[in-house]
């Protein structure tokens, strides 16, 4: 049967993850991979989980193994509401929907607000998984660089009859750039959204992982009607539980609940029960502190290896938190070409182009520092530097960019 003729326009608009394809090459054991966005498994609180899982099975198996409410575990939503209230959000648990990963939250928000051809604003670069969700509903993401003015871009879009449905932002330690928005930038985004009556999707998977510098307020804390805040336990607790959440005004949460019903009925129920107990016992915060200390050390080591080994002309961000730094090769070089050289040196990364919805960013790449151990990190950066030097020597800068 030829299925090409009967695929939906959504299916034709979907794009396979470039990361997924890269990872399959990078999975050889001899490759040191900085490609994934994986938390370090040493942060998984295995012993505490043993205790808590037995408790859940002992005390609440009847509900924890059964179907659960679509909006999620009531206790877990209360605990999350408390945490966010301490950050200035005026919310209750009724503003919270537990999702099967924050990726699902992006999917549901897109499904509820995007019609084919609709525009939205995102960063250049931006999170690839969000771009994939946008494309899968035939959205047209419009990327803006950190130097472009949001107001100008939005006005131009409105002028051409393509008013964006929302602004998608990752204000803290952005994936992939590692950059954090200043307070003024947050206020500016909100002001533009208010002026033109736009939604803001504030995607915040890394916020809890701040190593140093000053915490900036959540955009949601400055507004009560147009911000949809996304969070996840995947980076601070366990990716394997697939638990995230959406915080939004209740009129939006109600729509997302209906959308979630037909998508998977409810998020993993047992995993939610375990997570609620883990939070309630104060173990989450204790473990988070250790995780932050570990990742700070890893970031520092990665940065010092970069200082030590990278050839001149290569630049990189110095993130205050999160999992990634973003590397820029000299203008005119292509990180896809570099990937092919690097993989022969047994080191892998993600090409930056994958994060640019307009195909730009060819001379950039994303480097993860949370997963690898100290020894492999140094060896991997050495290999990467070798690959870059080889590329710089053999591939002269294209003429167009040297004049």
Q: Please, which residue, 55 or 188, has the CB nearer to a copy of itself?
A: 55
- The interface with a copy of itself within residues 271-290 (CB under 8 A) comprises 271
Distance of closest approach, residue 340 Cβ to a copy of itself, in angstroms:
24
The only residue of 41, 88, 313, 398 in contact with a copy of itself, by rule CB under 8 A: 41
The only residue of 86, 184, 251, 402 in contact with a copy of itself, by rule CB under 8 A: 251
Candidates 33-41, 315-323, 373-381, 390-398; binding stretch for a copy of itself (CB under 8 A): 33-41
Q: Please, which residue, 194 or 382, has the CB nearer to a copy of itself?
A: 194
- The interface with a copy of itself within residues 367-396 (CB under 8 A) comprises none
Distance CA 218, CA 230 (A): 11
Q: Using only C-alpha atoms, what is the Rg of the chain?
A: 22
The only residue of 32, 35, 36, 306 in contact with a copy of itself, by rule CB under 8 A: 36
Q: Please, which residue, 226 or 383, has the CB nearer to a copy of itself?
A: 226
Q: Please, which residue, 141 or 383, has the CB nearer to a copy of itself?
A: 141
- The interface with a copy of itself within residues 63-122 (CB under 8 A) comprises 64-68, 70, 100-101, 103-104, 107, 111-115, 118
Distance of closest approach, residue 270 Cβ to a copy of itself, in angstroms:
5
- Please report where in the chains the tokens 């950050």 appear, as a residue: 87
Q: Please, which residue, 66 or 315, has the CB nearer to a copy of itself?
A: 66
Q: Could you write out the three-class secondary structure of the chain? A: CCCHHHCCHHHHHCCCCHHHHHHHHHCCCCCEECCCCCCCHHHCCHHHHHHHHHHHHHHCHHHHCCCCCCCCCHHHHHHHHHHHHCCCCCCCHHHEEEECCHHHHHHHHHHHHCCCCCEEEEECCCCHHHHHHHHHCCCEEEEECCCCCHHHHHHHHHHCCCCCCEEEECCCCCCCCCCCCCHHHHHHHHHHHHHCCCEEEEECCCCCCECCCCCCCCHHHHCCCCEEEEEECCCCCCHHHCCEEEECCHHHHHHHHHHHHHHHCCCCHHHHHHHHHHHHCCHHHHHHHHHHHHHHHHHHHHHHHHHHHCCCCCEECCCCECCEEEEECCCCCCHHHHHHHHHHCCEECEEHHHHCCCCCCCCEEEEECCCCCHHHHHHHHHHHHHHHHHHHHHCCCCHHHHC
The only residue of 26, 31, 35, 39 in contact with a copy of itself, by rule CB under 8 A: 39
Q: Please, which residue, 50 or 290, has the CB nearer to a copy of itself?
A: 50
C-beta separation of 295 from 287 below 8 A: no
Q: Please, which residue, 226 or 366, has the CB nearer to a copy of itself?
A: 226
Distance of closest approach, residue 156 Cβ to a copy of itself, in angstroms:
19
C-beta separation of 29 from 36 below 8 A: no
- Please report where in the chains the tokens 């690097």 appear, as a residue: 342
Distance of closest approach, residue 335 Cβ to a copy of itself, in angstroms:
22
Site for a copy of itself (CB under 8 A): how many residues?
77
The only residue of 263, 287, 301, 336 in contact with a copy of itself, by rule CB under 8 A: 263
The only residue of 98, 125, 127, 165 in contact with a copy of itself, by rule CB under 8 A: 165
Q: Please, which residue, 118 or 345, has the CB nearer to a copy of itself?
A: 118
- The interface with a copy of itself within residues 175-234 (CB under 8 A) comprises 197, 199, 225-226, 234
The only residue of 18, 25, 49, 288 in contact with a copy of itself, by rule CB under 8 A: 49
C-beta separation of 252 from 113 below 8 A: no
Distance of closest approach, residue 226 Cβ to a copy of itself, in angstroms:
5
Q: Is 268 in the site for a copy of itself (CB under 8 A)?
A: yes
The only residue of 34, 220, 241, 316 in contact with a copy of itself, by rule CB under 8 A: 241
């Amino acid at each position: 049967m030829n299925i090409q003729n009967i695929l939906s326009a959504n299916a034709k608009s979907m794009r396979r993850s470039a990361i997924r394809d890269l990872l399959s090459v990078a999975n050889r054991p001899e490759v040191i991979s900085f490609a994934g966005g994986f938390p370090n498994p040493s942060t998984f609180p295995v012993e505490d989980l043993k205790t808590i899982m037995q408790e859940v099975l002992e005390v609440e198996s009847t509900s924890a193994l059964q179907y659960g409410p679509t909006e999620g575990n009531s206790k877990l939503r209360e605990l999350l509401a408390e945490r966010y209230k301490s950050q200035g959000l005026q919310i209750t648990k009724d503003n919270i929907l537990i999702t099967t990963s924050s990726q699902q939250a992006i999917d549901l928000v897109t499904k509820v607000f995007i019609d084919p051809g609709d525009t939205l604003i995102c960063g250049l670069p931006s999170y690839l998984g969000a771009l994939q969700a946008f494309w899968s509903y035939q959205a047209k993401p419009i990327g803006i660089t950190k130097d472009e003015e949001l107001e100008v871009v939005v006005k131009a879009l409105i002028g051409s009859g393509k008013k964006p449905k929302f602004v998608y932002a990752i204000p803290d330690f952005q994936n992939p750039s590692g950059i954090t928005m200043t307070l003024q930038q947050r206020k500016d985004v909100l002001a533009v959204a208010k002026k033109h009556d736009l939604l803001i999707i504030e995607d915040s998977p890394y916020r809890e992982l701040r190593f140093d510098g000053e915490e900036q307020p959540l955009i949601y804390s400055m507004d009560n009607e147009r911000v949809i805040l996304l969070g996840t336990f995947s980076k601070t607790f366990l990716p394997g539980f697939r638990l995230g959440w959406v915080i939004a005004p209740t009129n939006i949460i109600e729509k997302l609940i209906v959308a979630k019903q037909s998508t998977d009925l409810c998020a993993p129920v047992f995993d939610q029960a375990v997570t609620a107990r883990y939070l309630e016992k104060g173990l989450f915060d204790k473990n988070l502190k250790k995780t932050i200390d570990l990742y700070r050390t890893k970031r520092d080591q990665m940065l010092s290896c970069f200082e030590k080994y990278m050839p001149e002309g290569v630049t990189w961000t110095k993130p205050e938190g999160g999992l990634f730094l973003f590397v820029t090769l000299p203008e005119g070089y292509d990180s896809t070409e570099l990937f092919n050289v690097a993989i022969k040196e047994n080191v892998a990364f993600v090409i930056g182009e994958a994060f640019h919805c307009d195909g730009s960013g060819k001379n950039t790449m994303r480097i993860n520092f949370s997963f690898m151990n100290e020894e492999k990190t140094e060896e991997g950066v050495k290999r990467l530097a070798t690959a870059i030097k080889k590329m710089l020597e053999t591939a002269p800068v294209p003429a167009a960019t040297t004049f």
